[in-house]
């Protein structure tokens, strides 16, 4: 999964670039996170854990592309969009980036950069060893630690072994459906974005599962190893979860 963000001060450019990227084969597993028509908005709202690739206009007010990339793009893949002046080319070529694309956006150039400089080279810092604990930021004032390989699923459900989660909170469940982390105040959507690089996927509006724990899928019904619960994949999530399972296991 390659999660990308678009930043350009021209709304028409944002729509055009996304529309072009949407025409690429689903096998690339590109996921649009958000588009921003202001570098200031992007700086104020982007969470560094939520994306892998930043596609950004080189020349913008407040923060230009380089300044924004320096602020939010550490260890991320960067592609600049540029009007191709010689000065811009010289500056961009001196940087350690994935590439630059001339305006108007050329999807074939983008696909070439994608194949040669991005696929297989992201998320290297998100690999983890068995038993390793990860820390996830919850808002601005809290961090929680948990072991991904010991986590089977995460849910807001109040009907699992009579565990009662607080409103707007989730429980982390391990083997035998025992709670390992309780009442984390975060939405399923936000948490699923943070955990996608670690092999987790949202299967419905209330549950995220560890893909490595999948035992069997029968249409929309899903069972996990070490769990007595039966899960139902939501209609909106079915296509994505099936694709992710098959990609993960090389099917």
Q: Per-residue pLDDT averaged across 216-232, rounded?
A: 91
Q: Using 50, 70 and 90 to split pLDDT, how confident is the model at 182?
A: confident
pTM score over 0.85: no
Q: Per-residue pLDDT averaged across 170-181, rounded?
A: 90
| Distance from C-alpha of 31 to C-alpha of 73, rounded to nearest angstrom | 17
Separate counts of helices (H) and strands (E) for the chain: 7, 15
- Backbone φ, ψ for residue 160 (5° rounding): -100, 110
Burial code (b: 16+ CB inside 10 Å, e: under 16) for 20-51 equals bbeeeeeeeebeebbbbbbbeebbeebeeeeb
Instruction: Walk me through the domains of the chain, giving residue ranges and CATH numbers.
Output: 2-124 (3.40.50.2300), 130-248 (2.40.50.1020)
- On the question of a cis peptide bond just before residue 104, with omega within 30 degrees of 0, the verdict is yes
Percent of the chain's residues with pLDDT above 70:
84
Q: Per-residue pLDDT averaged across 69-87, rounded?
A: 80
Q: Which residue has the higher pLDDT, 23 or 245?
A: 23
8 A C-beta contact, residue 148 and residue 128: yes
pLDDT at res. 126 = 46
| Distance from C-alpha of 10 to C-alpha of 17, rounded to nearest angstrom | 11
Tell me the β-bridge partners of 53.
Answer: 4, 77
Angle, CA 243 vertex, CA 239 and CA 244 arms, to 5°: 115
Is pLDDT above 90 for 156? no
Angle, CA 48 vertex, CA 44 and CA 52 arms, to 5°: 125
Q: Which residue has the higher pLDDT, 165 or 106?
A: 106
pLDDT at res. 154 = 93
The total number of residues shown for the chain amounts to: 251
Q: Per-residue pLDDT averaged across 155-167, rounded?
A: 70
List, for residues 195-211, the tens digit of each pLDDT value: 877 888 899 999 999 98
pLDDT at res. 34 = 94
List, for residues 32-63, the tens digit of each pLDDT value: 999 999 999 999 999 888 899 999 998 899 99
Is pLDDT above 50 for 251? no
Q: Which residue has the higher pLDDT, 125 or 70?
A: 70
* Mean pLDDT over the full length of the chain: 83
Q: Which residue has the higher pLDDT, 17 or 121?
A: 17
């Amino acid at each position: 999964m390659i999660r990308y963000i678009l930043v350009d001060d021209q709304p028409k450019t944002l729509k055009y670039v996304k529309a072009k990227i949407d025409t690429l084969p689903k096998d690339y597993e590109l996921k649009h996170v958000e588009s921003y028509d202001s570098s200031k908005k992007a700086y104020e709202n982007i969470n560094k854990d939520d994306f892998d690739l930043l596609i950004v206009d080189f020349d913008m007010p407040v923060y230009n592309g380089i300044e924004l990339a320096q602020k939010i793009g550490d260890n991320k893949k960067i592609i600049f969009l540029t009007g191709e002046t010689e000065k811009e080319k010289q500056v961009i070529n001196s940087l350690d980036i994935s590439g630059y694309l001339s305006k108007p956006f050329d999807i074939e150039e983008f696909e070439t950069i994608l194949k040669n400089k991005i696929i297989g080279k992201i998320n290297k810092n998100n690999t983890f060893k068995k038993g390793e604990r990860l820390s996830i930021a919850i808002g601005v004032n809290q961090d929680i630690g948990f072991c991904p390989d010991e986590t089977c699923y995460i849910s807001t459900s109040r009907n699992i072994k009579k565990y009662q989660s607080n409103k707007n909170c989730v429980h982390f469940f391990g083997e035998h459906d025992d709670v390992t982390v309780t009442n984390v105040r975060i939405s399923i959507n936000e948490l699923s974005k943070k955990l996608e690089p670690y092999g987790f996927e949202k299967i419905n509006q209330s549950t995220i599962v560890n893909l490595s724990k999948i035992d069997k899928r029968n249409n929309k019904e899903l069972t996990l190893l070490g769990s007595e619960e039966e899960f139902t994949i939501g209609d909106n999530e079915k296509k994505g979860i099936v694709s992710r399972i098959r990609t993960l296991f090389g099917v």
